[in-house]
């Protein structure tokens, strides 16, 4: 007798979960900072920029919403032209998505990234066809709140909402899912700090794509 699958639908974060965007994000952040005369950040500092809403990160660093607006505009200029493709798919992700789709799992993307680059990245890497729908952020949205992103998918999930899990690499994913009483599997191969993820008490922690496969298959 085959084992019953634990879920019917999966919401995947993008950055740090499906793809490793560090190079493009890091270079685009430092490009934006250079345009406004701010010193560059180190790689260690830049790791924390993957996951949180972009405007919030700039505003926290710069302490000025108007200056953060300027930085975001400079960031997007470089990121949309170059940065989004300075990116790699985590090994094993295409095969996992293929197998889940073939088994009848409903797959979605739920990201705090804005929609145009999200769609271009998924198409560039041949991943878009695996997803039933993409929930992302409008270009003029400063917030990028993960709970609000997830909320846009709930009507589409219908009765499968009770059998849905969020998969992401930061505490923002855990909190966003929890706001809708949805479980979250946190992957530790991305950009969230292990201790923070552990203390946020997700349903499970996956140290690799192989471990993630075991948890959702």
Give tens-digit pLDDT for 104-158: 999 999 998 889 999 999 999 999 999 999 999 887 666 668 999 999 999 999 9
Assess whether pLDDT exceeds 70 at residue 44: yes
- In angstroms, the CA 31 to CA 106 distance is 38
Structure tokens at 144: 């990028």
Predicted confidence at residue 133, as pLDDT, reads 97
Q: What is the pLDDT of residue 2?
A: 46
Structure tokens at 145: 């709140």
pLDDT at 4: 67
Specify the fold of 9-20+87-216. Rossmann fold (3.40.50)
For the domain spanning 22-85, the CATH number is 1.10.150.240
Cα–chain-centroid distance for residue 88?
A: 14
What's the mean pLDDT when you consider all of the chain?
94
Domain borders along the chain are 9-20+87-216, 22-85
From first CA to last CA, the distance across the chain in angstroms is 15
Query: Would you call 13 a catalytic residue per the annotation?
Result: yes
Read off the pLDDT of residues 57-93 as tens digits, 9 standing for 90 and up.
999 999 999 999 999 999 999 999 999 999 999 999 9
**What pLDDT is recorded for position 173?**
96
Whether the model clears a pTM of 0.85, i.e. scores above it, the answer is yes
> Helix, strand, coil % (nearest 5) of the chain?
50, 15, 35
Choosing from 13, 20, 169, 173, the catalytic residue is: 13
Query: Which residues, 6+ apart, have CB-to-CB distance to 13 below 8 Å?
Result: 51, 109, 110, 111, 166, 167, 168, 169, 170, 173, 190
Q: Return the pLDDT at 198.
A: 97
Q: Which two tokens stand for residue 147?
A: 């709970």
pLDDT-derived band of residue 171, with 50, 70 and 90 as boundaries?
Answer: very high
């Amino acid at each position: 007798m085959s084992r019953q699958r634990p879920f019917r639908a999966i919401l995947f974060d993008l950055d740090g979960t499906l793809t490793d965007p560090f190079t493009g994000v890091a270079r685009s952040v430092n490009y934006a900072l250079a345009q406004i005369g701010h010193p560059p950040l180190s790689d260690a500092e830049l790791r924390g920029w993957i996951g949180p809403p972009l405007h919030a990160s700039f505003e926290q660093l710069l302490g000025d919403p108007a200056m953060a607006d300027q930085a975001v505009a400079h960031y997007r200029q470089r990121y949309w032209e170059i940065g989004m493709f300075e990116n790699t798919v985590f090994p094993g992700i295409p095969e996992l998505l293929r197998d889940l789709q073939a088994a009848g799992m409903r797959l979605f993307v739920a990201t705090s990234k804005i929609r145009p680059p999200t769609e271009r990245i998924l198409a560039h890497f041949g991943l878009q066809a695996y997803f039933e729908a993409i929930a992302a952020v409008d270009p003029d949205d400063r917030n990028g709140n993960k709970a609000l992103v997830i909320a846009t998918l709930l009507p589409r999930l219908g009765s499968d909402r009770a059998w849905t899990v969020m998969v992401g690499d930061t505490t923002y994913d855990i909190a966003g899912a929890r706001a809708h009483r949805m479980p979250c599997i946190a992957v530790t191969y991305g950009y969230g700090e292990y201790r923070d993820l552990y203390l946020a008490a997700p349903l499970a922690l996956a140290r690799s794509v192989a471990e993630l496969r075991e948890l959702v298959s």
